Structure 1
Amino acid sequence: MENSYLMIFALLLGCLASTMPVFMALFFTGTVGLVWGVGIDPQIVIEVLYRSMDKFALVVVMFFVLCGNIMTTGSIVQKLIKTANVMVGFLPGGLAMAGVLACGFFGAISGSTVATVVAIGGFMIPALIENKYDERFSVGLMTTAPILGVIIPPSIAMILYAMVSNDQLEALFLTGFLPGVLIMVAMSVYSYFICKRAGMERQKRPTSKEVISVLKESGWALFLPVLIFGGIYSGMFTANEAAVVACFYAFFVEIFIHGDMKIKDVKRVVVSSAVTSATLLIIVAGASVFGEYLTFEQIPGKIATVVVENISSPWVFLISVNILLLIIGMFMDIISATLILTPIFLPLLSKFGIDTMHFGLIMTINLGIGYCTPPLGVSLYISGATVDRNLLFVSRAVMPFLLIQMAILLLLTFWPGLVLLLPNLIYG
């Protein structure tokens, strides 16, 4: 039986090394494991595929994808950037700090790192370079700051984690607020000192009249995150319903208030979002088949037994998991990794007395950092294409900012009270 595990694991690595798409590698390996290793009827795989996608929690993911596409098509993104710039743009490194703040604003609506890199990074990187910011600094900052898209709720990664762990989604969302703010502050402070030391020219401080004018112009856009979180935590609607409300609100604002989207654009935005959502569902299906194999073979329980026998301290366990997740994040997307690894780690958490929501936040940050780490970090390729630079240049550019994020990750790992502060205050 041990040899069969090694063969299945080798098959998975071989599929991934052959550049086969991740969902196909997971589906093929899981199917071989179930049929050849476990000996079940191949028709069971079809049932697993159906059950994996027949989950109401996935509805919220699809609607937040749609909401992000609406904002990218219309002018909400530009208005969020304009608001962030008027708030901090006059400080040393103000435009860079505005980019970080804009990533936080956009992340509070879209829930996706890739969408944040495309929407904010695609606009801010050229703007920073045009304003005489160092190219490497600009690329590094706007490649790593979009991690806020999966940390600040609503987070697609957290939705999938809650689907597996059965944690209350609204409470899990709350774990991301303070860490997200901490990352924004740390990266902004770093930008402040770097740009001040470089003698960057400041923007003119806006007058009160200009600030009020920008806030009025951006009022409808700024109200969107207020609507989402105010509705969820006031009890007006659930997280699933909040995603639907956000989409209708964004459509209404872009078509009838801002006038930047036409009725004819609705079909294109919906179809584009459907394609993105279908891609996500395919990954979920492939990961679920492989996860079913792990469950049949009781591999999570066996791993838990081995780990508990060799690790006695929860802190040693958490450090080991951080290192493992950072490595996995270099090669696997956050959706597949969350669906596969969560069932493996869950049995271990209770044995070490680790809160599942605290661990969910740690896993999300670790895998989010994977978006910015070579060789397969998606954000690296998007930013590289924006400035026509190779992977090596972008990889070097992100290093200082990745160190900042890893330092915050270490702090959050050993300070669960900070992560759980808001859930404990609101839900007890």
Structure 2
Amino acid sequence: MTATLGYMFVGLFGMVLLNVPIAVALAVVAVAAIWITQGAAMLPNVPLVMFDGATNFPLLAIPLFIFAGGIMNSSSISRRLVNLASAMLGFIRGGLAMVTVGASMFFAEISGSAVAGVAALGTLLIPAMKSRGYSKEVAAAISSSSASLAIILPPSIPMILYAVMAQVSVVKMFISGLLPGLLGGAGLAITSYFYARKYNFPVEQRFSLSKLGTAFREAAWALMLPVIILGGIFGGFVTATEGAAVAVVAALFISTVIYREQTLRDLYKSLVDAALQTAVVMLLVASSALIGVFLTEARVPQALAGSILEYTTNPYMVLLLLNIFFLILGMFLHSAAAIILTVPIVLPLIQQVGIDPVHFGLVLTLNLAIGQQTPPVASVLIAACAIAKSDIWKTTKANLGYIAVLLLVLMICTYVPWLALAPTRWFYGDAAG
């Protein structure tokens, strides 16, 4: 069995290096392993396992939140949020970078996708920053790092995936990301201010109550979206999946009835984009279910837990080792693939050492948020560089200060679990999954 596992991982990473889609590579490796170890008679179970893995009800929230983000992209909702953030923060030196942080946090509260956030807001804010004297590398760096807050702020799509894989409450995962998300946003804004002082970035505009009032009136309906979505979910009126459906209906109503800016062509494009992104994620989920069943039957998670427990039983040392592992893994795998591939393997370990699965889920997603900024994969950073037309390695150098902020938030959340667990206790009286 050990030799088979070794061949599996060699084959998996070999196919990834050959640019085979990770979902296809996972499925091929799992089918080959089942055939070798259990015989061809088990192959008829393959489609049943994959179908069962991809039909988990909470996963329905993923295409709906993606669609809601697409509706925002194709209407003026994003622009109105940017204008409001600019009226609030534009009087501070480096305010345009802070506007990027604030707008990204607003957008994250609706779409749950970092890539969608940088695509929607980067096209507005990166050219604006470049025109105001920001280097294209700094403009791309702040857009990329602030967009990655979507991975921990509700309604984070990676958190939905983790909750399904770990069988914990999606809503509790959402709540756990609130304080760390706000802490990360504040840290990125402070770093932007120091960058602004260092590079003498300009003040955008004088503070004006009249401009702020105008921007607030124009964005009032857009601001209702996170209130409706998160208020409904946290208030217990809807589940996370139902909240995703509410997000779509609310975004459609605001963009078509209130702002009257959503055309049928825009709606069609949003539907197609949502379907394509969903297909990628769901194929990953189906493939992971297959490989997860094989690994469980081979008792790989138990073997991993046993080997680490022989070294240490201290939960904080275990978290340190897992942080190092996930930071490295995040450099090579997208967040969805990393969650799907590793959670079934490491979950028994964290349960044995007494780590709360909600706390661990936050630590994991923070690691993967950093992975979105570290090449060679760095999906969000690459998207920002494409918009800014900047070199990825020069942008990474400019991004080091912002990555340091995300690392600091990771360390705080790892070793101060109260930050993740206290909000769930306020809402529920406990933090258990």
Q: Distance in 1 between matches of 2:269 and 2:223?
A: 25
- TM-score, normalised with respect to structure 2: 0.96
Q: Distance in 2 between matches of 1:281 and 1:35?
A: 24
2:5 matched to which residue of 1? 5
Q: Distance in 1 between matches of 2:264 and 2:200?
A: 47
1:21 paired to 2:25:
no
2:84 matched to which residue of 1? 83
Provide, for residues 279-334 of structure 1, a one-character-per-residue CA deviation record: whole Å limited to 9, x for no partner. Answer: 21112122222222211211111111111111222111111100100111111111
Provide, for residues 255-300 of structure 1, a one-character-per-residue CA deviation record: whole Å limited to 9, x for no partner. Answer: 1111111234323322221122112111212222222221121111
Is the deviation greater in 119-128 or in 68-77? Answer: 119-128
1:153 paired to 2:149:
no
Q: Distance in 2 between matches of 1:384 and 1:201?
A: 22
2:360 matched to which residue of 1? 359
The answer on whether the counterparts of 1:38 and 1:296 sit within 8 Å (CA) in structure 2 is no
Q: Distance in 2 between matches of 1:281 and 1:165?
A: 17
1:57 matched to which residue of 2? 58
Q: Tell me the CA shift for residue 362 of structure 1.
A: 0.5
DSSP-derived class of the 2:237 partner: coil
Is the deviation greater in 182-191 or in 30-39? Answer: 30-39
Provide, for residues 85-138 of structure 1, a one-character-per-residue CA deviation record: whole Å limited to 9, x for no partner. Answer: 111111111110010011100001101111111111222111111111233222
* Cα pair distance change 1:411/1:64, threshold 3 Å: same
Is the deviation greater in 304-313 or in 62-71? Answer: 304-313
DSSP-derived class of the 1:332 partner: coil
The answer on whether the counterparts of 1:288 and 1:340 sit within 8 Å (CA) in structure 2 is no
What's the RMSD between the two structures over aligned residues? 1.3
Is the deviation greater in 403-412 or in 173-182? Answer: 403-412
Give the 4+ runs in structure 1 shifted more than 4 A. Answer: none
Q: Distance in 1 between matches of 2:143 and 2:267?
A: 29
Q: Distance in 2 between matches of 1:58 and 1:169?
A: 10
Q: Distance in 1 between matches of 2:194 and 2:390?
A: 26
Q: Which amino acid in the other structure matches residue 294 of structure 2? A: Y
Provide, for residues 35-91 of structure 1, a one-character-per-residue CA deviation record: whole Å limited to 9, x for no partner. Answer: 112335211111111111111111111100100000001111111111111111111
The answer on whether the counterparts of 1:49 and 1:289 sit within 8 Å (CA) in structure 2 is yes
2:130 matched to which residue of 1? 129
2:142 matched to which residue of 1? 141
* Number of residue pairs aligned between Structure 1 and Structure 2: 428
Unmatched 5+ stretches in structure 2: none
DSSP-derived class of the 2:42 partner: coil
The answer on whether the counterparts of 2:138 and 2:395 sit within 8 Å (CA) in structure 1 is no
DSSP-derived class of the 1:303 partner: helix
Q: Tell me the CA shift for residue 202 of structure 1.
A: 1.2
Q: Distance in 1 between matches of 2:266 and 2:11?
A: 44
Q: Distance in 1 between matches of 2:270 and 2:195?
A: 39
Q: Which amino acid in the other structure matches residue 283 of structure 2? A: I
1:327 matched to which residue of 2? 328
The answer on whether the counterparts of 2:166 and 2:343 sit within 8 Å (CA) in structure 1 is yes
- TM-score, normalised with respect to structure 1: 0.97
The answer on whether the counterparts of 1:383 and 1:394 sit within 8 Å (CA) in structure 2 is no
Q: Distance in 1 between matches of 2:408 and 2:265?
A: 47
Q: Which amino acid in the other structure matches residue 421 of structure 1? A: A
Is the deviation greater in 99-108 or in 387-396? Answer: 387-396
Q: Which amino acid in the other structure matches residue 394 of structure 1? A: T
1:113 paired to 2:114:
yes
Provide, for residues 360-392 of structure 1, a one-character-per-residue CA deviation record: whole Å limited to 9, x for no partner. Answer: 000001012111111111122212211222322
Q: Distance in 1 between matches of 2:171 and 2:290?
A: 28
1:282 paired to 2:278:
no
Q: Distance in 1 between matches of 2:168 and 2:2?
A: 33
Q: Distance in 1 between matches of 2:149 and 2:269?
A: 27
The answer on whether the counterparts of 2:26 and 2:288 sit within 8 Å (CA) in structure 1 is yes
The answer on whether the counterparts of 1:30 and 1:292 sit within 8 Å (CA) in structure 2 is no
Q: Tell me the CA shift for residue 144 of structure 1.
A: 1.2
Give the percent of matched residue pairs that are identical in Structure 1 and Structure 2.
32
2:229 matched to which residue of 1? 228
DSSP-derived class of the 2:399 partner: helix
Q: Distance in 2 between matches of 1:193 and 1:358?
A: 31
1:399 matched to which residue of 2? 400
